[in-house]
């Protein structure tokens, strides 16, 4: 069968890579894809943007696409999955109503309250003064209600910082056209990302991952889309995984059902695990995580399309248990100098072959090919992903591959996986 992957990041390269490894897949088309998917075997890019619904539909028809996998949140929030389903095209990803889980943090908070899903205490405000008046103590967390590419969350350690953050959100600095403000208690603990597949009736988690959002080592500095991740994380013990299933994933799905939402895709729960071991939801996303998808899929044994098709066809309950390779996989993200602020593009990248010769897989995030050269084309450029028998050896293997790669201004965190060493 032929499949279509929508998106152009590291997550989409990992989805295309995983799908292309299956014997059942003849061709993987990416819209628009990147410099990595351009040369992946069985794979080809089409210059169609993620918001070009008509263009995506056209590819699906012309290429007899059996399954469309939507990577990013923006087209899901705009209703791409609804549009494709209305044209009888099979698609993995929720419709616009389900995508609100990510597209409106306020809506997600209300749903969690109804579902009795544990989350940080907080409230949603239209009026900035009311948000300021609500704050009793710091640190406190301020979030823009709408989509903000991972950048709309601020932890304020003083009242003054909190007021500045509220004003920035109210001004619309986070670009979603929605100026509602979520004020939340600050939670301490270890973070974990649970990516769960659902067909709207059954929900099954993939192996738990841990992301590293801040740009600087030891989690310092501004938040980014994600600087590295590893999976599985021992932060989520089998006992905790059982609680997450019963206290978070199942009630969330049941509440979506109660609201008449037919959700077929990924429910991504970003969790904080308290020092006492209790999980609380920090955020929901309506898609695979980036970079969590890279290490997770690098260990997946079950053919990915079988799982995704089972979600589309509401057969997830009939699927045998998901099979995983043993060991741990680590992904280190290499970014352009200046990211998450402004950065230059078009730098020549070298050393990817040498990196892959060590056994790592290099997923491209922001790259393009021009005149036979591979150039940087975004903030998060590459995700160097390597496995090992445990976290420590996977970290060593990943950095061995990282050290083969170079481009002007390249930066990466050298401490991916560091929190685990303190466990
Ligand atoms: P989010 O996009 O909501 O996951 O937030 C991005 C990052 O901000 C999370 O990965 C956490 O590191 C941090 N964060 C969000 N909400 C909270 C909270 N209530 N307490 C502490 N940290 C938080
Ligand atoms: N890695 C965080 C995200 O995908 O939202």
CB of 1 closer than 8 Å to CB of 305: yes
- pLDDT mean across residues, the chain: 95
**Residue 168 carries which DSSP code?**
H
Q: Report whether pLDDT(422) > 70.
A: no
Cα 287 to averaged position of ligand 2 atoms, centre (Å): 9
Ligand nearest to the CA of 144: 1
pLDDT digits (tens, 9 = 90+) for 261-284: 999 999 999 999 999 999 999 999
Strands 65-70 and 2-7: parallel
Angle, helix 250-258 to helix 96-103, in steps of 10 degrees = 130
Q: Which atom of ligand 1 is nearest to the CA of 188?
A: 21
Beta strands in 127-264 (DSSP E): 140-144, 153-156, 181-185, 190-198, 203-205, 210-211, 214-216, 220-223, 228-231
What span, in angstroms and rounded, lies between the C-alpha atoms of 5 and 44? 10
CA distance 271 to 191: 6
- CA dist 297 and 72 (Å) reads 16
Residue 189 exposed, middle or buried by CB count within 10 Å (0-12, 13-18, 19+): middle
Ligand 2 pocket, 226 CB below 6 A?
A: yes
Ligand 1 and 191: CB distance under 6 A = yes
Ligand 2: nearest atom to the Cα of 229: 1
Range of weakest confidence among 161-170, 265-274, 290-299, 321-330: 161-170
Residues 69-127 pLDDT 10s: 999 999 999 999 999 999 999 999 999 999 999 999 999 999 999 999 999 999 999 99
pTM of the model: 0.96
Residue 4 has pLDDT above 90, yes or no: yes
Question: pLDDT band at residue 173, thresholds of 50, 70 and 90?
Answer: confident
Q: What is the mean pLDDT of residues 136-157?
A: 86
pLDDT at 174: 82
**CB 150 less than 6 A from any atom of ligand 2:** yes
Helix runs in 135-249, H state only: 159-171, 238-244
Average pLDDT over residues 140-169: 88
pLDDT digits (tens, 9 = 90+) for 9-46: 999 999 999 999 999 999 999 999 999 999 999 999 99
Contact yes or no for 304/22 (Cβ under 8 A): yes
Q: Is the CB of 223 under 6 A from ligand 1?
A: yes
d(CA 209, CA 418): 14
Pair of tokens at residue 286: 């309506």
Confidence category of residue 152, pLDDT binned at 50, 70, 90: confident
190 lines ligand 1 (CB under 6 A): no
Distance from the alpha carbon of residue 370 to the mean position of ligand 1, in angstroms: 38
Q: Whose CA is nearest to atom 11 of ligand 1?
A: 282
The CB of 292 under 6 Å from ligand 2? The reply is yes
* Residue 148 pLDDT: 79
Structure token pair of residue 212: 């590293």
Q: Which residues contact 28 (CB under 8 A, 6 or more apart)?
A: 2, 3, 4, 5, 16, 19, 20, 37, 40, 42, 43, 44
| Structure confidence at residue 149 as a pLDDT band (50, 70, 90) | confident
Indicate which residue's Cα is closest to atom 6 of ligand 1: 153
What mean pLDDT comes out for the span 142-154?
A: 83
Ligand 2 within 6 A of CB of 285: yes
| pLDDT band at 153; cut points 50, 70, 90 | confident
**Strand-strand pairing, 43-45 and 27-32:** parallel
């Amino acid at each position: 069968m032929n499949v279509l992957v929508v998106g152009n990041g590291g997550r989409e390269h990992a989805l295309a890579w995983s799908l292309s490894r299956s014997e059942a897949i003849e061709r993987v088309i990416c819209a628009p894809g990147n410099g990595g998917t351009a040369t992946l075997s069985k794979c080809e890019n089409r210059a169609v943007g993620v918001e070009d619904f008509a263009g995506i539909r056209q590819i699906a028809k012309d290429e007899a696409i059996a399954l469309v996998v939507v990577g990013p949140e923006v087209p899901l929030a705009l209703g791409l999955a609804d549009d494709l389903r209305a044209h009888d095209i099979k698609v993995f990803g929720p419709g616009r109503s389900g995508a609100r889980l990510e597209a409106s943090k306020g809506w997600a908070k209300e749903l969690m309250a109804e579902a009795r899903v544990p989350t940080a205490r907080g409230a949603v405000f239209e009026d900035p003064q009311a948000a300021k008046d609500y704050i009793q103590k710091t640190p406190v967390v301020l979030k823009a209600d709408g989509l903000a590419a991972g950048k709309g969350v601020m932890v304020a350690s003083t009242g003054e910082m909190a007021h500045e953050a509220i004003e920035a959100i109210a001004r619309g600095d986070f670009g979603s056209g929605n100026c509602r403000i979520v004020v939340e208690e600050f939670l301490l603990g270890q973070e974990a990302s649970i990516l769960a597949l659902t067909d709207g009736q059954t929900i099954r988690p993939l192996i738990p991952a841990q992301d590293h959002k801040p740009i600087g080592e030891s989690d310092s500095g501004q938040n980014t889309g994600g600087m590295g991740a590893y999976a599985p994380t021992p932060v989520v013990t089998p006992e905790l995984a059982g609680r997450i299933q019963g206290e978070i994933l199942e009630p969330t799905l049941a509440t979506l059902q109660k609201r008449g939402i037919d959700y077929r895709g990924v429910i991504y729960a970003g969790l904080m695990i308290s020092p006492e071991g209790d999980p609380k939801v920090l955020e929901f996303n309506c898609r695979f995580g980036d970079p969590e998808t890279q290490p997770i899929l690098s260990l997946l044994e079950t053919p990915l399309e079988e799982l995704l098709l089972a979600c589309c066809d509401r057969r997830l309950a009939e699927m045998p248990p998901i099979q995983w390779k043993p060991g741990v996989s680590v992904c280190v993200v290499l970014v352009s100098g200046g990211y998450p602020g402004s950065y230059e593009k078009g730098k020549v990248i070298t050393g990817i072959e040498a990196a892959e010769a060590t056994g790592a897989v290099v997923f491209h995030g922001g790259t393009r090919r021009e005149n036979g050269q591979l150039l940087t084309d975004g903030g998060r450029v590459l995700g160097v992903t390597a496995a090992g028998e445990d976290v420590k050896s996977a970290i060593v293997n990943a950095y061995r591959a990282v050290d083969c790669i170079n481009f002007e201004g390249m930066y990466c965190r050298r401490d991916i996986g560091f929190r685990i060493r303190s466990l």
